[in-house]
Amino acid sequence: MMTLAQINLEIARPEIGLLIFTFVLMVFDLFSKKVYRAGVLFCGAIVGLVLTIVSVFHTLGDLVAGAPQYAFSNMFVVDQMSTVLKIALLASVAVLIIYSRDYLEKRKLFTGEFMLLLLFATLGMMVMVSANHFVTLYLGLEILALSTYAMVALNRDSAVSTEAAMKYFILGALASGMLLYGMSMIYGATGTLDVSAIAKSIEFSRANAPLISFGLVFVVAGLAFKLGVVPFHMWVPDVYQGAPTPMTLFIGSASKIAAFGFTVRILGDALAGATGEWQSMLVILAVASLAVGNIIAIAQTNIKRMLAYSTISHMGFLLLGILAGSKEGYAASMFYIVSYSLMSLGAFGVIMLLSREGFEADNIDDLKGLNTRSPWVAFLMLTMMFSMAGIPPFIGFFAKLAVLEAVLQVGYTWLVVYAVVMSVIGAYYYLRIVKLMYMDEPLDTNPIVARKTMRVALGVNALAVLLLGLVPGIGLMGLCLNAVQRSL
């Protein structure tokens, strides 16, 4: 049995606080009057997330000069990498709620169910990035996954959303089974589920090597599905297109941050001694994802589907940093995923801004002549597209540069050249959006109406994409490098 000292609840106070806050909102949603329910849920969720961020910041301050701290008999760890990732994903969820309020209210989807599922999913992501044990990792993953399946199917009157949720659920269950089977093989090879103990067992050659290799195949397959990389990408375009846009944004931003943390905990920490084996697997996944994502995106006419294939290519870039197998590579990938989350928030935020009751601005042609309708909104979208394409001085350029430098340091010169060529190909469909906004005549002349809070948030989002790119060495990239060096 665990002693009180081994439990150490103080370490998990942000997660416990968020859980309690979620339960409070659940009770309020159950007994409150419908008239003011939406407003209180909105404010309550934002306040809960902000308080959780403050709590995580306090934890980060405790870790600046100290070592990682453990709780629940080493099943849960708080280190600088987990705290930075938590702050990033909590901020992403808070911004998502601000962006999605108008969109969901007009479709009668801004309900207690949506808010509670989103907060439970956030809790699952926080557990994932702080897990130090395979059981805790899987627990966090399933809290996130089950909440996400339900959110995708939230619009029960839409056949497209229901179909997307079914595909996501079935393929997700298959991937979870593969991941769990791989974990069981690693347990059989090492005799433990503790991340640190597994790493030591492999490092000192006490593990069953053939069984580790066998389990690794299933683990990488499960991780590849969660990241949405080729050949486990089949669900991504359908779910992105079929799900309500706020749920698509959640899958493409905050959950990707958690998936990165989950992947690094398993491959970069527990299975660091088997880097040579999983490195070759990730090379294949990255090469295929960069090609499939960038080439197929060119043919898309639905912007959500185009961004889905764009996500596949970006996750290929993310894998490049991870397969480097170095702290610089992990830091570059961490910088990349946080940067991509910022860009994804902005792009989908503009799509929701342009949508209105009875109209989904999800076709590429809906962006025609946007500069004529609203130069400010067009500039916001231009910022996101240029950054995703990797054009300086936006953050996307520096994120790609950091990943390519890390890959170059470990001798994969051909892979760097290949990634650059694929990025050039991918720039076409981003620049096509810019061309439509600035050089074509608008098909839609309806005024763009949005709350002031959303407009301000989008402006801050675009400013972050620009300014964080201008000072990568002393800004976000420096923070990521320091966090990884002190955590792994």
Q: What is the pLDDT of residue 123?
A: 94
pLDDT tens digit sequence for 21-57: 999 888 888 887 776 777 788 888 899 999 999 988 8
Q: What is the pTM assigned to this prediction?
A: 0.93
CA dist 58 and 11 (Å) reads 11
pLDDT tens digit sequence for 327-353: 899 999 999 999 999 999 999 999 888
Tell me the domain boundaries of the chain.
Answer: 4-485
**HEC per residue, the chain:** CCCHHHHCHHHHHHHHHHHHHHHHHHHHHHHCCCCCHHHHHHHHHHHHHHHHHHHHHHHHHHHCCCCCEEECCCCEEECHHHHHHHHHHHHHHHHHHHHHHHHHHHCCCCCHHHHHHHHHHHHHHHHHHHECEHHHHHHHHHHHHHHHHHHHCCCCCCHHHHHHHHHHHHHHHHHHHHHHHHHHHHHHHHCCCEHHHHHHHHHCCCCCHHHHHHHHHHHHHHHHHHHCCCCCCCHHHHHHHHCCHHHHHHHHCHHHHHHHHHHHHHHHHHCHHHHHHHHHHHHHHHHHHHHHHHHHHCCCCEHHHHHHHHHHHHHHHHHHHHHCCCHHHHHHHHHHHHHHHHHHHHHHHHHHHHCECCECCCEHHHHCCHHHHCHHHHHHHHHHHHHHHCCCCCHHHHHHHHHHHHHHHCCCHHHHHHHHHHHHHHHHHHHHHHHHHHHCCCCCCCCCCCCHHHHHHHHHHHHHHHHHHHCCCCCHHHHHHHHHHCCC
270 — pLDDT class (breaks 50, 70, 90): confident
pLDDT tens digit sequence for 344-400: 999 999 988 888 766 777 888 888 888 888 889 899 999 999 999 988 888 999 999
Q: What is the pLDDT of residue 179?
A: 92
